[in-house]
Every structure is written in C-alpha cells, then in structure tokens.
Homo-oligomer: A and B are copies of this chain.
C-alpha cells in the first residue's frame, strides 16, 4: 500500500476504533498509549502466513482475521489472563488491495471485540508476495496471576478442556480462545500450570513436563477425542489425531487431585467439558498408558507415526 493508501486506511481504521478507557491514544500516532495497569503485563505474538496457516484462495479473509487474533488470545488464555489490547501488522498482496485489508480487519475486530480486546495500532504494508499477518496481544493477569508452564507437581492431575484432534477439517480456522473458561477455572481451582494446545497434545504437554521438571503419564482411554478426529479416515487412529494434531486451542492444565475431581465431577464450565487425562509423576518423562501398558510418548506424537515410517 503506498503512503496515501496507507493513510486513507488508517483514517478508515480510526473511524472504526471505539473509545476505550484503557486506551489513551489509539491508531494514528507514532505509538499507541495504554493507561497504566498497576499489574504485570503479558505479551504474546503470533504470525500467520498464506499457504502455511491458511489458504487465502479457499478461505474467507474475515475468517483469517478471526484466526490471527484468536491464536494470540488463546496464548493469553493459556496464561489465565484477560486481554488488554492488541496491535496488528500485515503484508498484503498488492493485487488484493484495500478490500482484503478491510475484510481482515472485520475478522480481527470481531474476534477482539468478543473478548473485550481493543485493537490499538498496527502497520499496513503491501508487496507482491502472499499475505502475512502478525498480531501482538497484551493481557493482564487473571485472579491467580500469570499461570506458567512450570508449576506442575508430582501427583497433580492433567485436565483438558473440550475434545481433541482433526482440527484440519475446519476448526483450525475457527479458534475459540478459552479466555472466559480460564478465568472461571481460576475461581474454582488452583491452577498449577497451563498451556494451550496449538502444536498437538503430546508436543504441548511435553512443554509442561520440561518446564515443570517432572513427568506425566497420559491415560489413552480418557483423552476426549473430537468427532473430527474420527472423521479423518486417513489410516491414522482417532487417538493418534487427538495426540498429534495441532490447533485445537483447548487448555491443558495441572491441578491437585482434589481440585481436579471437583472440576471434572461438577463440570462447572457447562458449555465446555473438562476431562482428566493424566497424572504428573516425579520421574521425568512423558508416557502414555493403555490397556495396563505404559509406553514412552515422543513429543512429536503417537509412536505409531514413527513405526509407519520405519522401513
């Protein structure tokens, strides 16, 4: 976008930026200015690229905007945080012009508004290459402060929201960041550690194990498998999909057995089921247990993937 195209677009954006007491200066100056929060500030950033994270020729750009904002808000949810604000940078394919920018903004703004997250600035560029969109989101801690990956203890339960696997059938573009659920969970249980499932359950719980310096045994039969995982029908088992597929954007968290039993028993998040899928142990490592047998689980996912590739 040439300078005047960019300035026109900034004007268009400013007209669509609601006032917000948390935002002292919004889009259009050299920097945005946020009001002092008097709490720690959380910052996360995620970049999506056409052809890697979505295919612009197949997808409504509004949905791409929703996803770009949603994956960042999911990272805030994984810290137990509330959104404070976000900024957005884009490299637009020159041929698509301003209409693409406006559609992306519609999706970004819709997702941001659903989670009370003002978009306070950005940078709009164009080039003759595919779309790139980078969002940086800021948050303030929830009632238990930032929930890190490092607080799981031997004996804790691993609990997960929702159901896993097969997001590639479409859900990977329809992120539901578990912001409200993470706040609600903090009102009902002490969360020792948390992560969102973006790279796949096995890979992501591997981070919990590494950062917490303990081990984890997953219970294969307890893992909630999404209907999409059963519909994949590609020779890999639904469980394999639930362990290895990414972009579920559900939360996996460590709680005491007492808190875990109450959460799972009461099912307090009535639109979002929670399930116990494993227990943390003192010995470092990651295992999966099924039919009484315990096997190491590589962070890349289900061991069968490697067996299939063996000669």
Which A positions have Cβ atoms within 8 angstroms of B?
Answer: 3-4, 24-25, 28-47, 49, 51-52, 75-76, 78-79, 81, 85, 87-91, 120-123, 125, 127-130, 132, 134, 136, 138-139, 141, 146, 148-150, 194-196, 199, 203, 211, 299-300
Whether A51 pairs with B87 at a CB distance below 8 angstroms is no
A6 CB to nearest chain B CB (Å): 9
Tell me which of A29, A44, A139 has the highest count of chain B C-beta atoms within 10 A of its own C-beta: A29
Known: A52-B125, A90-B47. A31 touches B146 (CB 8 A): yes
Instruction: List B contacts of A43 (CB < 8 A).
Output: 31-34, 85, 87, 120-121, 136, 138
A128 to B50, CA, bound (A): 11
Asked if residues B149 and A52 are in contact (CB atoms below 8 Å), the reply is no
Are the C-beta atoms of A47 and B79 separated by less than 8 Å?
Answer: no
Distance (whole angstroms) from the CB of A134 to the closest CB of chain B = 4
Expressed in whole angstroms, the Cα–Cα distance for A27 and B198 within the complex equals 17
Q: How many copies does the complex hold?
A: 2
Q: A24-B40, A30-B76, A33-B146 given. 6 additional CB < 8 A pairs?
A: A28-B211, A31-B43, A33-B79, A47-B134, A52-B127, A129-B130
**Which residues on B sit within 8 Å (CB–CB) of A138?**
41, 43
| CB-based nearest B residue for A30 | B78
| Residues from chain B with Cβ under 8 Å of A4 in the complex | 299-300
Report whether A79 and B31 are in contact in the complex, using a CB–CB cutoff of 8 Å.
yes
Give complex CA distance A134, B90 in Å.
9
A41's partner among B37, B130, B141 (CB-CB below 8 A) is B37
- Identity of the chain B residue whose Cβ is nearest the Cβ of A10 in the assembled complex: B207
| B29–A79 touching, CB < 8 Å | yes
- Which single member of B28, B33, B127 contacts A40 (CB below 8 Å)? B33
Could you tell me if B49 and A129 are in contact, using CB atoms closer than 8 angstroms? yes
Interfacial chain B residues near A31, Cβ < 8 Å: 42-44, 75-76, 78-79, 81, 139, 146
> Can you name 16 A-B residue pairings with CB atoms under 8 Å?
A28-B211, A29-B148, A31-B81, A32-B42, A33-B146, A34-B41, A37-B41, A43-B120, A43-B121, A44-B87, A46-B123, A47-B90, A47-B134, A49-B91, A51-B128, A91-B132
